[in-house]
Structure 1
Amino acid sequence: MKNKLFLYLFIFASLIALYLFVSGGSMVDAKEKRIVGLENKVIQLQDSVQVTELKALEMQYFSLENNDDALAYYDHLNIKDATRYISDKLLETNETKGNNPLIPYEGMENDFKINKIKILNHKWIIADFSDGKYWGEVLIKYELKDDLGVDFSLVDNLLYTRSN
């Protein structure tokens, strides 16, 4: 009787050990598949980050802050951030009553004001303007003088039309 009990316990323990061995192996396989899947996702994310970084660098190509030759024009003025200074001066033109003087259109809903500014180099700015409903873009030539005054002159413009 004692021998049969030990035999049954041995068989039961063997079955539990076999179950644990098989399920442990399948767990390892599942974990390995998950690790491989996550590694592939990491590789894809790294690739997309590289693509995004390249696009960002490409978008910054026409930018005053990344153009050392254009920034050299302002070395003698001791301006800490020329892009910010010029942008602020351009936004000050919005403070006039009525439409911005650099925008050659009369606002239809409200006054046209400059919203977004991209300083391309030491001579040109492209800016977006809107009256809340209608919008357009202007190409502006500017000159930063030694007395830190800025002269703006309109080069070209466009107003987008709605087709509803």
Structure 2
Amino acid sequence: MKNVILYGLIFSVLFNIFQYVNSTKILDAKDQEVTKIQQRLKTSRDSVATLAMANYFSLESDEDAQEYFYKNSLDYQKVAEKVKEDLLVLNENKNGNILIPYEPIDGKAFLVNTSKILNHRWLIAEYSNGDLWGQILVKYFVAEGKPTDFETVETVLYERPTKE
């Protein structure tokens, strides 16, 4: 009978040691997993914060600009679509978009490719002629039932990279 109790005691001690080692390994693995997830979460939060800052100057996030349109009984989303359409209509000129103050180079006219409306008064656009490109800051004025009036504020034309 003493042998059975001794064997039972040894078995229970070995079983407890096994459980302790196994549980420790599982906890360490879960701790590493939690650390990795926390790092991913921090990276994701930083990315979201960066995106929020990148979209800071945008009609979609500027409540004051939206309120300006609402006071004039206009929907800012429809206004944004109209402004972008009217801007692209100016590309139909054979000498290029009239907002871009550069004459065609090598027979290639400058056209607006994409634009972003910053607020109720300004937009920024990227333009190119296939070889050269630049950006333009434009002031715009919207009146219901009329085409959008545009006024060039400033332009930047980037130099062609030199081949070495």
Q: TM-score range by the shorter chain?
A: 0.7 to 0.9
Q: Name the SS of the counterpart of 1:39 in structure 2.
A: helix
1:57 to 21, 45, 52: 52
Q: Which amino acid aligns with 2:42?
A: D
C-alpha contact (below 8 Å) 2:59/2:65 kept by paired residues: yes
Match of 1:157 in 2: 155
What is the aligned length?
Answer: 150
State the shift of 1:144 in Å: 0.4
Taking only the aligned residue pairs, the percentage that are identical comes to 30
TM-score by length of 2: 0.76
Structure 2: where are the runs of 5+ without partners?
A: 1-10
Q: Cα RMSD (Å) of the superposition?
A: 2.7
Match of 1:90 in 2: 87
Give me the whole-angstrom Cα distance separating, in 2, the residues matched to 1:78 and 1:124: 17
Q: Name the SS of the counterpart of 2:159 in structure 1.
A: coil
Give me the whole-angstrom Cα distance separating, in 1, the residues matched to 2:31 and 2:107: 57
Match of 1:126 in 2: 124
TM-score by length of 1: 0.76
Which structure's CA Rg is the greater one?
1
Distance change (3 Å), C-alpha of 1:133 and 1:29: farther
Q: Which amino acid aligns with 1:74?
A: F
Distance change (3 Å), C-alpha of 1:158 and 1:49: same
Give me the whole-angstrom Cα distance separating, in 1, the residues matched to 2:25 and 2:105: 64
